[in-house]
Structure formats: structure tokens, C-alpha cells
Amino acid sequence: MIPEADRPEPPPPILIDHLQIAGVTSPLSQLGESEVGPLQLAAAQNQLSIEFVALDFDPGEVLRYQHRLEGADRDWSPPSEDRVINYERLAPGRYRFLVRAVTAEGVISAHPAVIAFTISPPVWRQWWFVSLAIILTGCLIFAAHRYRVARLLELERVRTRIASDLHDDIGSSLSRMAILSEVAKQRMAGSVNQPVSILTDIAESARAAVDSMSDIVWAIDPRRDDLNSVVFRVRQFASDVLGSKGILWHFQAAGFDRVKLNPEQRRHIFLIFKEAVTNSVRHADCGSVTLGLRVTGHQIVAEIRDDGCGFVVPSAGPGPDNGVGGHGLENLRARAEQLGGQLTIVSSSTGTSIRLVVPLKKGMA
């Protein structure tokens, strides 16, 4: 009797019979599946528990298993009898889980069971989020640069204005005082009345220099950056000028603590009031003056009215320096233009009305 040669054992088939993703069981066939996926998982679904089984009908056969996670492992794991594999906190990426069975004789499954899945990166690692973050960072850097440049330009304008004011107002007043002092000294031995009048001019020039210096200091003081400070300053000036001339005056205004102004806005609004009141005193021959300052919506509205003789309002542009219709009104229009506002002047034989409307940026009121 010649015995037949042993038949080679067929490789055991292997199946995935249970899959749990982030604690949630994934639906599979009750008989198991040899291939699952591809699956698209969110960034939070990076915890997997995989169970698998191989079929072998030889009595006493003990199967062992090898697995590999493509995208994380380089080679197959050592053979083991464990039928459950757990993965915790997998990094975002594309993976293929493969598992195969190995018999005691070393026969390996012909086709491993496969689970293909992809874990998406978190939102902050998505390409569109990175692109948006880069764009926003660039915008913030550009905005910060523009803000810094704007502050530097504003500081430069303040410095230029201070230098100009000191040169024009204080410098000219001090020069006039020096000249008058020399003239008084030369004439002191002569007539008595001439030195007295010259000394009076010197005193007036000194008072004018003090007033100009006070205006400059007030304009650049950061503690005065609100409309309420303008109201106080205008009220003080009107009391000094109109009260000393015996002119009745009334100021209609409310508290404006929340309305913030920059130094340029404060200075121009105050100087418009100052010049308008000065013109009323010098040229209008009026008996009363009404001042008003209020905020409506996102606008500052300032009004100066007197009951004087009035004048002919010239058109915009250079004109003769008559104090009212010349450079005085041109200065008012120029300041209103620098504020980005509108100046309206109406004059008749019954009086003059000046109205200034200045827009406020949102967030200033």
C-alpha cells in the first residue's frame, strides 16, 4: 500500500466582525466582512476598537494573528492570539488596517481583512483655515502699521502746529513787546504821554501772549479730549469778552462727557467760536449774542447768533481783510473744511447767524 501525500491545508479566511469608532459601534454584516471602507472620520473620531476572527475546521488548531496599520506601522506585528486591537488618539491622516491569520504550520491567510479610513485634521489645521489665518494676520499687521503711521502723522501735525503757533502767536507778541520796550526806553526822557501809551501796548501784547499760550496748552492737553471741555472753554471766553463789553449772552449746551474729540477737532471748534464771538464784538454793534452746541445723531451742531447790524456775506475765496468779510470768514471756512464739516453764514440788518455742522465717527459719541 502506497499512502497518498498529505494535501496542503488551505489558508484560513479572516473577517472583521466588530468595529467601534469613538465609542460608537459601526454597522457590519453579522457574518463579518473582509473589507470595510473607505471611511471618512472626523478629527474627534480618532479612537478605534477592532475585533476580527478567522475560520479553521481542523481539530485542536490554534490560530494566531498579525496586524499592521499602514500609515503608522512599517511591518507586521508578531503573531498573537489576541483578536482585539485598540487604537487611541490617531493623528490625522490616511490609514489602512490589515490583519491576517497564521496556522500552527505557518500557513498565512491568502487575503488579509482590510479597513480603510481617513481621519480629517481639526478645523485649525484645515487648509482654508490656515489660509484665512494667514490673511487675517496679514490684515492685522497692515492695520497695526497703518494705525502706527496715522499716530505718527498725527503727532507730527501736532508738533508742527505747536511750532507754528509758538512762532506766529507767541513769537510775534514777544517781538512786538521787545520793540515797544526799546521805543519806550528811547522816548522816556521826552514826552510823558507817549511812554505811557507804549507801555499800555506792551501790557496788551503780554496779555495776548498769555492767552495764546493758554490756548496752545489747552489744545494739546490729553485730559481735555472731550466736547465738554470745549463747552467750558467757550463759556469762559464768552464771559471774558462779552461780559467785559456789557453784551448780553446766553449759551445753550448740555454735558458731553462721552463725546471724545482729537486735539485738532477741539482746537478748530473752539477757534471757530472764538473768532465768531470776536467778530460780533468788534464789528456787529450787537446787544446780545446766543451760543449753542449740541450733538444730534452723529453730528456736532454749533451756532452763534447776534442781533447786530449784519454785513454782506462774500462768496468763498480770498477777499479784502475787513475783519468780517475778508480773512476772518475765510479762516472760519478753512477750519470747517479741515473738520470735514459744513459752515453756513446768514447775515441781514437784524443780525448774523453762523452754523457749523461737524460729522462724528461712530464710536466717538
Q: What's the CATH code, domain 14-122? A: 2.60.40.10
Q: How confident is the model at residue 70 (pLDDT cuts 50, 70, 90)?
A: very high
Arithmetic mean of pLDDT, 329-345? 89
SS3 content of the chain, % helix, strand, coil (to 5): 40, 25, 35
| Amino acid identity at 93 | G
Q: How does residue 325 score in pLDDT terms, banded at 50, 70 and 90?
A: very low
Residue 319 pLDDT grade (very low, low, confident, very high; cuts 50, 70, 90):
very low
Give me the sign of the Cα torsion angle 181, 186, 192, 197: negative
Q: Quick one: fold of 223-365?
A: Heat Shock Protein 90 (3.30.565)
CB 302 within 8 A of CB 274: no
SS3 253: strand
pTM of the model as a whole = 0.50
How would residue 67 be classed by pLDDT, with cut points 50, 70 and 90?
very high
d(CA 132, CA 270): 46
Chain-centroid distance of CA 115 in Å reads 51
- pLDDT higher than threshold 90 for residue 349: no
23 or 125: which carries more pLDDT confidence?
23
pLDDT, residue 356, reads: 94
Average pLDDT over residues 52-75: 84
Question: What mean pLDDT do residues 185-203 have?
Answer: 64
pLDDT value at 362 more than 70? no
Best mean pLDDT range from 79-83, 183-187, 188-192, 257-261:
79-83
What lies within 8 Å, CB to CB, of 289 at 6+ separation is 238, 242, 247, 248, 249, 250, 277, 280, 304, 305, 306
